[in-house]
Amino acid sequence: MKYSIYKIVITAIIGLCVIAPIATFATYYTNSQDEKSTNLEINILQSIDDDNMYKNIKSLSKKPRVAGTEQEDEAVGYIKKQFDSYGYKTEVQTFTFNDYTAPHTIELTLDGFIHIVDPSALEYSVSGHVVGEVIPAGLGKVKELQHLDLAGKIVLIKRGDISFKEKMLNAAKKGAAGVIFYNNAPGDIMGSLGEANDSFIPAVLLTQAEGEKLVKQVKNNPDTQATLNIEGAKSITNISHNVIATKKPSNQNNSKIKAKHDIIVISAHHDSVAGAPGANDNASGTAMTLELARIFKTIPSDTEIRFITFGAEELGLLGSNHYVDQLSANEIGRIKANFNLDMVGSKDAGKLTLETIDDKPNLVTELTQAASLKLNGKPTPVNQGDRSDHVPFAKAGIPAALFIHNPAEPWYHKPEDKIDKISKAKLQDVAEIVTLAIMNQTRVEHYAK
């Protein structure tokens, strides 16, 4: 821990007290007020416990914590227990999401088709074994399918103009048994049907070259039959959770303290990707959110502070989207800032950076830069970034920023993202900056006599 700047300030103040003449009483008074708040800040910053964060990261990162798995549930239980132990009444908010397992077998065989066909499945394609005549159907728009007899047939459709999903539903409506999509541009392609749907029929995706050869073949041999076999694709409704601990404004009965209606959200995602134990991504942010909750529990504040760990960030910011979606307009108006902590403790990553979705400063970056300037002599830089849970807040009009070290470590989303890659000094540094930033926005001690 380094308090060099504080030390200089205090030494200067003491020096001033000794040598200043009585005529400068007003200056004295101001300085002694500053000194008081500075001492308070020091006490609080000193109580941030990097060992506690490290211990929590270690416990959380024994295994990957993929959303919707038992390991996520274990992590959620662990986080709730910690919040509860700090004196919070913790809410576990549950939400559902569509969990798709890609097929293990994708086969397409075509009678008389001499070229090698290497199909890829589309995300959300269903399993099935279908045999049928191949019918080219242009771009698969309703008008193009109108006069075609597609019942029990396998429809050959080119990418473009409308989504794969729309094309698929148009074909399914006409009673088709399967769909072969092909690209409208050269190169490899990963396709998605966007979401699961009970009306989907088995489908594969070919390259443009393969698709065009197939169209030619079918035109020359109109009875070409295809067999489409997809096995192992599964779509289930799964469950993930957000964990929420709320600190109400303090001393609400004390008439000297005017509680604001403001809310500040401190957040981090607790899930990880498959195969990575996610010590830095993002047991680090989770442990820091817990530590900030522990610290702030005893600090009087005029603002509500919500400490939230989100589920299913790695699946597309699902937990934070769910959270922001279920807020009332009134709550959205009251949330003045989102401090989102993601990958905040890697030994092997670069310097602390703030990321906003529009690259612009906002209340979060301003408070943070004032705090980092005071603590480290340099304001934390601001860059553009939209790869974490600050995004739904920002899109709802709430000042939001991601705290991350840039560049990221080589272990990002890898099995090596383990506790041995965590730096206590980095954790302590970020936690101090966030604590000071939030204290400066929510402090109430100046209300007291």
For position 412 contacting ligand BES by CB under 6 A, the verdict is yes
For position 282 contacting Zn ion by CB under 5 A, the verdict is yes
Kindly tell me which of 235 and 284 has the beta carbon lying closer to Zn ion: 284
By the 8 A CB rule, do 442 and 264 touch? yes
Chain center to CA of 34: 38
Write the DSSP assignment of 344-373 as a string of letters.
--BTTS-EEEEEETTS---HHHHHHHHHHH
For position 409 contacting ligand BES by CB under 6 A, the verdict is no
Q: In what order do the strands lie in the sheet with 234-247?
A: 91-101, 234-247, 304-310, 263-269, 335-341, 400-406, 351-356, 382-384
Q: Scan residues 290-329 and list those touching ligand BES (CB under 6 A).
A: 313-314, 316-317
Can you read off the two tokens belonging to residue 66?
A: 């993929």
CA–CA gap between residue 141 and residue 157 (Å, rounded): 9
For position 432 contacting Zn ion by CB under 5 A, the verdict is no
Among 99, 210, 281, 432, binds ligand BES (CB under 6 A): 281
What would the x/- binding string for ligand BES be over residues 208 to 247, using CB under 6 A?
A: ----------------------------------------
Neighbours of 265 (CB within 10 A): 26
β pairing state of 225-231 and 105-110: antiparallel
Kindly tell me which of 210 and 314 has the beta carbon lying closer to ligand BES: 314
Tell me which of ligand BES, Zn ion, none is bound by residue 291, counting a contact when its beta carbon lies within the kind-specific cut-off of 5 to 8 angstroms: none
Min CB(412)–ligand BES separation in Å: 6
Can you read off the two tokens belonging to residue 291?
A: 């530590």
Tokens 């959303």 label which residue?
67
By the 8 A CB rule, do 126 and 202 touch? yes
445 DSSP 8-state letter: G
- Is-cis flag, bond preceding 56, omega within 30? no
Min CB(282)–ligand BES separation in Å: 6
Min CB(360)–ligand BES separation in Å: 18
For position 281 contacting Zn ion by CB under 5 A, the verdict is yes
Kindly tell me which of 65 and 159 has the beta carbon lying closer to ligand BES: 65
Interface stretch with Zn ion, choices 87-95, 273-281, 287-295, 409-417 (CB under 5 A): 273-281
Interface stretch with ligand BES, choices 39-47, 106-114, 127-135, 383-391 (CB under 6 A): 383-391
CA–CA gap between residue 41 and residue 47 (Å, rounded): 10
Neighbours of 142 (CB within 10 A): 13
* Binding positions for Zn ion, rule: CB under 5 A: 281-282, 342
Name the site residues for ligand BES (rule: CB under 6 A): 281-282, 313-314, 316-317, 342-343, 385, 387-388, 404, 408, 412
